[in-house]
Structure 1
Amino acid sequence: MLPISDFQKIGIGLTGFGTFFLLLGMLLFFDTALLAIGNILFISGLAFVIGMERTYRFFFQRHKMKGTAAFVGGMLVVLVGWPVIGMCVELYGFVLLFSGFFPVAISFIRRIPVLGMVLDLPGISTLVAKIGDGSHQMV
């Protein structure tokens, strides 16, 4: 098992709370304050987990600039006061940034007993096969 530092433990907590606040903000009819707090916690948690330098390199790679611009632009649109539009733009940026991670996540989820069976259901299996293939590129 890999050793996890205290900063990484804090980062996992911050990322989890950020995700929780984002979901809560969407459930409460796109509450701007909760979405802003969720965004800040998610980004800071990511920085704690992988480090500041690697976070910077992740977001500012040449081929990920479109995703970074959409993600940060969506955050700014949420802060301006248009949370629904901002979250749509942010979701687009999130998909562009993390699309390379989706096949890894799906192969991990397939090994979990109940979730693996859900991914094998007829309608879901074709979508999962498309996403989990890893050979397609989202542009």
Structure 2
Amino acid sequence: MWLSESQTLGNVLFLVGVLLIIGPQKTYIFFTRPNKRRGSFFLVLGVLLILSKWTFIGFLIESLGIIGLFGDFFGVAVQFLRSLPIVGPILSHPAVAPVVDRLAGIRVLPV
């Protein structure tokens, strides 16, 4: 019960945060782009399932929606994390970097 309530509050705060950061018109445009519609659908479906007390299934479907909506930003986030003092050297390590690049969808050009 507690997980469902905190998950619901997190969803509401996330959507309000996006709305406040980029504004109502740009939020509408972002969520209704043709290449983002599937992610928007899964996000809304996941939120509705969580509100209907189907917490775990809703969380999984909502996660698919978040990946569909914000998957393009993972590469940017990884590049930012690589500029940080402690995390950067770990993510840039030759054994770790190819795995992180593949997961984030970063394309490395051959030298």
Q: Under TM normalisation by the shorter chain, which class is it?
A: 0.7 to 0.9
Partners of 1:113 and 1:119 lie apart in 2 by 11
The alignment covers a number of residue pairs equal to: 107
Does 1:94 pair with 2:69?
A: no
TM-score by length of 1: 0.71
SS in structure 1 of the partner of residue 86 of structure 2 = helix
What is the Cα-based RMSD across aligned positions, in Å? 1.9
User: Retained in 2: the 8 A contact 1:30–1:84?
Assistant: no
Paired AA for residue 51 in structure 2 = L
- Judged with a 3 Å threshold, the aligned counterparts in structure 2 of structure 1 residues 30 and 127 are, in CA distance, closer, same or farther, namely farther
| 2-structure distance, mates of 1:97, 1:124 | 26
Deviations 1:103-138 (A, max 9, x none): 111111111011112213465322211115158xxx
Structure 1 position 112 matched with structure 2 position 84: yes
- Provide the rounded CA distance (Å) in 1 between the counterparts of 2:7 and 2:33: 26
TM-score, normalised to structure 2, is 0.87
List, as ranges, runs of 4+ consecutive aligned residues in structure 1 with deviation greater than 4 Å.
none
In the other structure, the counterpart of 2:75 is 103
